């Protein structure tokens, strides 16, 4: 019986490590993104969650394949977003926009809109 105690402790430790790895890498975060973490000189696309500013203009132009709208980050700063015209249904009624893109000096370029909430 005493020989099994270290095995049980080791097994529980391994299960805990697997759980921590799962939580850190495979669960979705519901946090609103902090845009100050982005570098305007970095062209790497990142996934961000931001609050859609429904009280500001939302323009979707199928002809030019462009959408322009405004979002607010975790710090309350408002950013202009230029993205594709293909937006999810009920986009204008969304509270949160999940998008992939990169920051320019005067706007966020969304290469895709991943989802809305």
Q: What is the pLDDT of residue 2?
A: 64
User: Higher confidence at residue 25 or residue 44?
Assistant: 44
Domain 35-116 has CATH 2.40.50.140: yes
Q: What is the pLDDT of residue 21?
A: 83
CA–CA distance, 105 with 108 (Å, rounded to integer) = 8
Q: Which of 73, 75, 70 is nearest to 107 (CA)?
A: 70
Diameter over CA atoms, the chain: 74
Instruction: Please give the C-alpha separations between residue 48 and each of 8, 35, 71, 93, in angstroms, as whole numbers.
Output: 41, 8, 11, 19
Q: What is the pLDDT of residue 48?
A: 94
Quote the pTM value: 0.76
């Amino acid at each position: 019986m005493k020989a099994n105690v270290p095995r049980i402790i080791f097994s529980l430790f391994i299960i805990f490590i697997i759980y921590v790895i799962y939580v850190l890498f495979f669960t979705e975060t519901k946090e609103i993104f902090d845009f100050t973490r982005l570098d305007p000189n970095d062209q790497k696309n990142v996934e961000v969650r931001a609050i859609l500013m429904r009280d500001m203009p939302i323009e979707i132009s199928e002809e030019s394949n462009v959408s322009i709208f405004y979002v607010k980050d975790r710090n309350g700063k408002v950013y202009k977003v230029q993205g594709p015209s293909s937006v999810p249904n009920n986009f204008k009624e969304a509270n949160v926009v999940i998008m992939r893109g990169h920051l320019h000096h005067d706007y966020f370029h969304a290469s895709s809109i991943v989802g809305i909430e």
